[in-house]
Amino acid sequence: MATTALSPAISPRAAPAPLAVSTVAGQGAVWAATAAMLYALVFGLYAALRAHLFVAAARPPQPGMDLAAFDVTLLYLALMFGVQLLLVVVPLGVITALLVWGITARLPRGRGFAVAAGVIVSLALCAGIGYFLPTLTGDRMSPTVYPATFWFWLGLPAIFYVLTAALGAARLARRLG
């Protein structure tokens, strides 16, 4: 007996289900946490490799055990730091996702508008954080006084954050239909 069902290619497209606030917030949290842990992992691998080369050249007492101890400890530390930073990063991801969602819903449909909303919202939040941070940290986050500190804690994470917001917004646009 021949089937009467239409193939998906010629089915009428169903209207996308409206997204719940909790779904959007959850997605924001997951994307932010993923970006933060990816950053921590990349940094951990970089730090372990760089320290590994230093320790190997410094002739430690028990090279095999000592190199393993440094590698494991540095990677462990980077990831544990990442886990703790989720306390800050996840709320930021939730706020970003909700703002992007709220703006995207008022814009014409299309991935370009959503990505633009993601970039603008994340840049605006970066600017806000950058504006208030000197009152908390003094010149310790200054790109001219402490460039390594600035790039590690603010510059590179900001680039990660804006990219993540753009990618997340594109995905949100697809779910909104």
Partner 1 sequence: MLRRFWMSLALLLLLLIALYLGAVHPYIMRWGATDAELAATYPGDPFIPPDVVVSTRALTIHAPPEAIWPWLVQIGQGRGGFYTFDWLENLFAADMHNAPVIDPALQGLRPGEKIYYQKGSFYATTSVVEPPRVVALDGWSFNLIPQEDGTTRLVVRYPSFPITNRLAAFYYYVIFEPAHFVMEAGMMLGLKARAEGRL
Q: What is the contact surface with partner 1 in residues (CB under 8 A)?
A: 30, 34, 37-38, 41, 47, 50-51, 54-55, 57-62, 65-66, 68-70, 72-77, 79-81, 83-84, 140-141, 146, 148-149, 152-153
Instruction: Tell me which H or E stretch contains 138.
Output: none
CB 170 within 8 Å of CB 97: no
Instruction: Pick the closer one to partner 1 by CB: 60 or 91.
Output: 60
Kindly tell me which of 5 and 57 has the beta carbon lying closer to partner 1. Answer: 57
Residue 136: CB minimum distance to partner 1, A: 13
CA dist 149 and 155 (Å) reads 9
Distance (Å, rounded) from C-alpha 79 to C-alpha 38?
A: 9
CB of 4 to partner 1, least distance (A): 36
Judged by beta carbon, residue 7 or residue 62, the one nearer partner 1 is 62
Our CB check for partner 1 shows the closer of 51 and 163 to be: 51
The rounded distance, in Å, linking the Cα atoms of 32 and 157 is: 11
CA pair distance 75, 158, nearest whole angstrom: 22
Closest distance to partner 1 from the beta carbon of 74 (Å): 6
The tokens describing 135, both together, are 């009152």
59: left (phi over 0), alpha (psi -120 to 50) or beta: left
Distance in Å, CB of 13 to partner 1, minimum: 25
